[in-house]
């Protein structure tokens, strides 16, 4: 290439299309490969991130642009899932979901904490690793369930509701743990945090649908700007995501609530348009999880052993904790809820990063938590497919579900 | 807000939803306002950027994330415009378009250069400012024409074809100017640059449609991944955008060529999905242009005068240069082509930035070029509406156009 051309490409215009091309195409190729192997395409997309990431090929490293696209991808994924669900139906399963979320927080925390102590880690580090095992990354499960048309089953609704509650609990665990490791626990502040997060979530879930049912017809009628309904949906999505962050929960919880609020007042047009954005950006969310894997954590046998133990604990603890919480639904659905809550994805990494920033989690233990987050996310989709096998085999899902619930 | 919450929002999760909310909502609100004033919504979206930008409210400053979204928005805008046009029809108007592009490059360059010399600027600076006035930002015109359903008129096709040629010419002018101001002009290298840019553009425009006509049916048939056709379209979009950058032209030219190549083999589904992405991201492209405005250039009367002179020259020179090039089509269409080529948008800014980086353009003159780029972009849409008034008033456009061309 002549020097002049190198000069032009070095000024940066190649950066965006290059990153888009490498991440998107490798994610889609791996998804295609996995579909052909009869495995979930989503696992292929996450592994694409591992493959092109620093540990293997080194084509891409996590950067600000890619992580922004990943965040947006997760928001659109959850927004679209919210659009498919009625909030009244989530409210109905609220009791069971709370039970699932609580036992699904306690069991993983205790197992992670105990394993680290047995491994000989300082107690603060053990507490932080326990905290990083608490929160489910609902995006992965939601994507699998949505792709297979399974969002309308009772177990799916419990998984979604429990994941939202789980996020609030995760916030509180992180707040308590951060305060404890700094030696001071401010109880009034903690109570206020809890109150704000719960109030935001409950208010939007409870009155969002009704409010949107009254507002949306005016949007379509009165606004002159093109695709006004879509523009309004996007505005609500970003506004609730931002409010979610301000009240302490994850942006994707706000995105999910935005979808939920608009589920009954949104037509095909807005669904198709937002689907386009999701189709483009979700691969960045999935591959972005894989990009963070750092296999150098496995260079020391002791660390490798810890990583495997923590991974096993992450899987077993959510399966048991959440499965027990959903026991009242019968074995089949309890099993589905149990596997559906396994993926930790980006949530575990965020907690570990905060611990790393405090100097409480050491670099190799951080690598272990990242490995656990990614591996639990990769393991879950095939397990979900197995747990829902009966429904998937028996033809059109809604009918099958009806038959199943009645029989 | 309790300290704990501030801590969480400072770790960064608010950044993405906040930026999305502020830019998107202000762009859409201003678009709505302008539509109600019977002005083009696109102007409102650009002015929204000026309004929230550093010069007025200071809510947002240009940053890497926003500029990446703006780049993507421009790519999707041009991709979608490409989807609406047949490359064979662009080829047919190639002769006139080349004439339009050439005279539309020469006249603005000479006027910009002369004004700077009269103003007493050093000759290298004058040359660079001339170069920054050369290239049209086709995105703005394309958006206006596409929103009004005018892409199928003969003048629209000439504008699109001329803008692509114009981009190649702009590359050459920038290369020559950069070499000249550094004292050495490497003619063989320059010829190679020209050859690569022209070869890429012509090859894709000429054989892209045919190739896609053979490839796309296999994509739909053989791939198992969901929305395979859309995934393929996105891959082509990013691949051609990247190749465009490598051959020296703008990424959006590659995006336009990708749309062109797929125009005849793409159904409604892919159009709807990519429309969703465009609806989300184009406001970031438009507001992003406005964000760059720095009104401090107007603090000195001499600079303010220069800015107004350069703006007037930018408008008049493209209007005359391109209008003359299209004179063979008759007065009405020549006028349409003339106003359609006025917007400079992001292209002028890029050239000025390079000049700034070389230390050839001074800060205040840089501000003048940015002002010219943004203001010419804001002035154009109302002029385009006026130039196409006859067609817009006479009902369904395709029929009106037919009647018009026959009558």
Residue B175: pLDDT over 50? yes
Selected for mutation to probe chain B from A1, A5, A39 (highest B CB count within 10 Å) is A5
Among left, alpha and beta (phi > 0; psi -120 to 50; other), residue A118 is alpha
Measuring CA to CA, which residue among A120, A135, A140, A199 is closest to residue A167?
A: A135
The CA dihedral of A382, A383, A387, A390, to the nearest 10 degrees, is: 20
Give chain A positions within 8 Å (CB) of B1: 246
Nearest to B36 among A186, A224, A354 (CB): A224
| Nearest C-alpha neighbor of A252 from the set A270, A240, A266, A268 | A240
The pLDDT, as a whole number, for residue A346 is 76
Distance of CA B338 to the CA centre of its chain: 16
From chain A, the residues in CB contact with B65 under 8 A are 64-65, 68
The residues, ordered by sequence, that sit 6+ positions from A357 with a Cβ below 8 Å of its Cβ are: none
pLDDT value at residue B148: 83
Banded model confidence at residue A314, pLDDT cuts 50, 70, 90: very high
Quickly count: other Cβ atoms within 10 Å of residue A321's Cβ. 23
| Nearest residue in A to B172, CA atom | A4
Tell me what pLDDT residue A395 has: 56
The tokens 């990424």 sit on which residue? B251
Distance between CA A134 and CA A108 in Å, rounded?
A: 6
Q: How confident is the model at residue A159 (pLDDT cuts 50, 70, 90)?
A: very high
Q: Residue A82 CB: number of other CB atoms within 10 A?
A: 28
Number of Cβ within 10 Å of residue B400's Cβ equals 17
Q: What is the pLDDT of residue B336?
A: 93
For the ranges A91-100, A175-184, B108-117, the maximum mean pLDDT occurs at: B108-117
- Is the CB of residue A325 less than 8 Å from the CB of residue A105? no
Residues of A in contact with B4 (CB under 8 A): 175, 178-179, 186, 189-190, 193, 248
The answer to whether B145 and B123 have CB atoms below 8 angstroms apart is no
Rounded Cα distance between B405 and B324, Å, is 20
Per-residue CA distances from A121 to A115, A200, A306, B254 (Å): 9, 37, 11, 54
Cα dihedral A228, A229, A232, A237, rounded to 10, equals: -140
Q: Does A198 or A118 have the greater pLDDT score?
A: A118
pLDDT of the residue at B90: 85
Contact A242 B14 (CB under 8 A): yes
Q: Is the model's pLDDT at B27 over the cut of 70?
A: yes
Whole-angstrom Cα distance, residue A285 to residue A167? 18
Q: What percent of chain B has pLDDT over 90?
A: 38
To the nearest whole number, what is the mean pLDDT of chain B? 86
Rounded to a whole number of angstroms, the distance from the CA of B71 to the nearest CA of chain A is 8
Query: How high is the mean pLDDT of chain A?
Result: 86
Pick from A28, A39, A180, A182 the residue to mutate for testing the B interface (most B CBs within 10 Å). Answer: A28
Q: Which residues, 6 or more positions from B64, have their beta carbon under 8 angstroms from its beta carbon? A: A64, A65
User: What pLDDT is attached to residue B401?
Assistant: 44
Say which DSSP state B60 is in. -
The number of C-alpha atoms within 13 Å of B130 and in the hemisphere containing its C-beta is 23
Mean pLDDT of B16-41: 92
Q: Answer yes or no: do A274 and B276 touch at CB < 8 A.
A: yes
Q: Nearest residue on chain B to A275, judged by CA atoms?
A: B273
What is the Cα–Cα distance from A130 to A342, expressed in whole angstroms? 15
Distance CA(A32)–CA(A42), nearest Å, equals 10
Q: Taking CB atoms and an 8 Å limit, are B245 and A175 in contact across chains?
A: no
Chain B residue at shortest CA distance from A282: B231
Q: What is the pLDDT of residue B146?
A: 86
Q: Answer with the residue of higher pLDDT: B406 or B172.
A: B172
pLDDT for B32 beyond 90: yes
Answer yes or no: do B235 and A24 touch at CB < 8 A. Answer: yes
pLDDT(A321) > 50? yes
pLDDT of res. A4? 37
Cβ contacts (< 8 Å) between A190 and chain B: which residues? Answer: 4
| pTM for this predicted structure | 0.86
By the 8 A CB rule, do A104 and A325 touch?
Answer: yes
Instruction: Please report the pLDDT score of residue B1 as a whole number.
Output: 32
Q: What's the CA angle centered on B265, arms B263 and B266, to 5 degrees?
A: 70
Give the dihedral sign, CA B163/B169/B173/B174.
Answer: positive
pLDDT computed for residue B402 by the predictor:
41
Give DSSP secondary structure letters for B164-221.
HHHHHHHHHHHHHHHHHHTT---HHHHHHHHHHHHHHHHHHHHHHHHHHHHHHHHHHH
Cα distance from B175 to chain A (closest Cα, Å)? 8
**Is 70 exceeded by the pLDDT of residue A70?**
yes
Which chain B residues are within 8 Å of A37, Cβ to Cβ?
Answer: none
pLDDT above 90: residue A145: no
For residue A189, the chain B residue with the least C-alpha distance is: B2
Contact A192 B241 (CB under 8 A): no
- Checking if the pLDDT of A355 tops 90, the result is no
Q: How would DSSP label each residue in A208-240?
A: HHHHHHHHHHHHHHH--STTHHHHHHHHHHHHH
Q: Identify the band that residue B405 occupies on the pLDDT scale cut at 50, 70 and 90.
A: very low
Residue A199, CB-side half-sphere exposure with 13 Å CA sphere: 9
Of B32, B192, B280, nearest to A223 by CB-CB distance is B32
d(CA B257, CA B165): 12
Average pLDDT over residues A141-162: 88
The residues, any chain, with a CB within 8 Å of residue B384's CB and separated by 6 or more, are B40, B141, B144, B145, B336, B339, B340
Greater confidence, A34 or A8?
A34
Cβ B272–A274 below 8 Å, yes or no? no
pLDDT at B319 exceeding the cut of 70: yes
B11 pLDDT band, cuts 50/70/90, is very low
Chain A nearest-CA distance from B267, in A, is: 14
* Best mutation target, B3, B23, B28, to test chain A (most A CBs within 10 A): B28
The per-residue pLDDT for B395 is: 56
What are the structure tokens assigned to A369, written together?
Answer: 């938590």
What percent of chain A clears pLDDT 70, i.e. is strictly above it? 94
**A181 or B263, which is more confident?**
B263
Shortest distance between the Cα of B97 and any Cα of chain A, in A, equals 26
| B213-247: pLDDT as tens digits | 888 888 888 888 888 899 999 999 999 999 988 88
Task: Provide φ and ψ at A270, rounded to 5°.
Answer: -65, -35
Q: Could you tell me which chain B residue has the CA closest to the CA of A16?
A: B68
CA distance B96 to B102: 10
CA dihedral B269, B273, B279, B285 (to 10 degrees): -120
Phi, psi values for residue A160, rounded to 5°: -65, -50
Instruction: Look at residues B254, B260, B265, B271 and name the one whose alpha carbon lies nearest to residue B215.
Output: B265
How far does B67 lie from chain A, in Å, by closest CA? 10
Closest CB to A14: pick one of B1, B21, B245: B245
Mean pLDDT for B278-290 is 92
Q: Which residues contact A350 (CB under 8 A, 6 or more apart)?
A: none
| Contact residues on chain A for B32, CB-CB shorter than 8 A | 223-225, 228
Name the residue of chain B whose CA is nearest to A190's CA.
Answer: B4
**How far from A308 is each of A46, A114, B377, CA to CA, in Å?**
19, 15, 58
The Cβ of residue B239 has, within 10 Å, a number of other Cβ atoms equal to: 17
B12 CB neighbour count, 10 Å cutoff: 13
Shortest Cα distance, chain B CAs vs residue A403, angstroms: 27
Say what the pLDDT of residue A6 is.
Answer: 36
Min Cα separation A16/chain B (Å): 7
- Minimal Cβ distance to A238: which of B3, B17, B31: B17
Task: Give the list of residues 6+ apart from residue B184 with CB closer than 8 angstroms, or none.
Answer: none
Which residues in A lie closer than 8 A to residue B245 (C-beta atoms)?
A: 8-9, 13-14, 17
A28 vs B contacts (CB less than 8 Å): 225, 231, 235
For residue B5, the model assigns a pLDDT of 36
Is the per-residue pLDDT at A31 higher than 90? yes
Burial of A195 (0-12, 13-18, 19+ CB in 10 A): exposed
* Residue pairs spanning A and B at CB distance below 8 A: 182
Give the least confident one: A19-23, A255-259, B168-172. B168-172
| Closest approach of A193 to chain B, Cα-based (Å) | 7
Burial A221-247 (b: 16+ CB within 10 A, else e): eebebebbbbbbbbbbbbbbbbbbbbb
The mean pLDDT of B55-71, rounded to a whole number, is: 89
Rounded CA-CA distance B40/B42 in Å is: 5
Tell me the pLDDT tens digit for each residue of A222-244.
888 888 899 999 999 999 999 98
| pLDDT (average), residues A297-322 | 90
Contact (CB, 8 A) for A365 and A26: no
B239 and A14: CB-CB below 8 Å? no
Whether the per-residue pLDDT at B2 is higher than 60: the answer is no
Place of tokens 């009918």: A399
B13 has pLDDT over 50: yes
> Is the backbone of residue B16 left (phi > 0), alpha (psi -120 to 50) or beta?
alpha
Instruction: Quote the tokens at residue A29.
Output: 């190729």
Burial of B221 (0-12, 13-18, 19+ CB in 10 A): exposed
Q: Give the rounded distance of the alpha carbon of A220 from its chain centre.
A: 32
Give the residue, A188 or B368, on which the prediction is more confident.
B368
Give kind and range of the element (H or E) at residue B11: none
Distance CA B169, CA A152 (A): 57
Q: In this complex, do B4 and A72 lie within 8 Å of one another by their Cβ atoms?
A: no
Helix (H) or strand (E) holding A17: helix A15-36
**Judging by beta carbons within 10 Å of its beta carbon (0-12, 13-18, 19+), is residue A357 exposed, middle or buried?**
exposed
Which chain B residues touch A16 with a CB distance below 8 Å?
68, 71-72, 251
Q: How many CB atoms lie within 10 A of CB A400?
A: 18
Give the percent of chain B with pLDDT over 70: 94
Per the model's pLDDT, the better-predicted residue between B220 and B53 turns out to be: B53
Tokens of B405: 């061309």
């Amino acid at each position: 290439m002549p020097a002049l051309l190198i000069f032009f490409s070095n000024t940066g215009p190649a950066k965006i299309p290059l990153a888009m091309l490498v991440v998107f195409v490798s994610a889609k190729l791996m998804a295609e490969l996995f579909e052909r192997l009869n495995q979930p395409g989503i696992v292929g997309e996450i592994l694409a991130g591992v493959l092109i990431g620093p540990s293997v090929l080194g084509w891409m490293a996590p950067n600000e642009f890619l992580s922004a696209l990943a965040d947006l991808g997760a928001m659109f994924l959850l927004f679209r899932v919210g659009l498919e669900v009625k909030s009244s139906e989530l409210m109905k399963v609220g009791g069971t979901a709370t039970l699932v979320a609580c036992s699904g927080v306690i069991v993983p925390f205790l197992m992670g904490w105990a394993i680290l102590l047995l491994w000989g880690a300082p107690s603060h580090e053990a507490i932080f690793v326990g905290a990083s095992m608490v929160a489910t990354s609902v995006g992965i499960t939601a994507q699998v369930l949505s792709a297979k048309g399974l969002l309308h089953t009772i177990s799916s609704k419990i998984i979604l509701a429990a994941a939202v509650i789980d996020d609030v609990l995760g916030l509180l665990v992180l707040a308590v743990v951060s305060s404890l490791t700094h030696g001071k626990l401010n109880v009034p502040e903690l109570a206020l945090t809890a109150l704000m997060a719960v109030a935001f979530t409950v208010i939007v879930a409870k009155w969002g649908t009704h409010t949107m049912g009254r507002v949306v017809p005016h949007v379509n009628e009165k606004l002159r700007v093109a695709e006004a309904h879509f523009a309004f949906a996007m505005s609500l999505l970003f506004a609730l995501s931002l409010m979610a962050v301000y009240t302490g929960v994850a942006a994707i919880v706000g995105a999910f609530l935005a979808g939920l609020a608009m589920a009954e007042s949104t037509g095909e047009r807005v669904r198709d348009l937002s689907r386009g954005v999701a189709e483009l950006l979700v691969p960045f969310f999935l591959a972005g999880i894989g990009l963070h894997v750092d296999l150098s954590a496995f260079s020391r046998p002791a660390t490798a052993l810890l990583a495997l133990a923590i991974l096993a604990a992450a899987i077993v603890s959510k399966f048991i904790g959440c499965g027990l919480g959903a026991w009242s639904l019968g074995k089949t659905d309890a099993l589905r809820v149990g596997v559906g809550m396994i993926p930790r994805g980006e949530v575990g990494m965020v907690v570990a990063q905060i611990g790393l920033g405090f100097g409480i989690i050491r670099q190799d233990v951080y690598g272990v938590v990242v490995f656990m987050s990614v591996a639990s996310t990769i393991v879950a989709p095939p397990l979900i497919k197995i747990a829902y096998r009966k429904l998937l085999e028996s033809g059109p899902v809604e009918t099958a579900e009806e038959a199943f619930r009645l029989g």
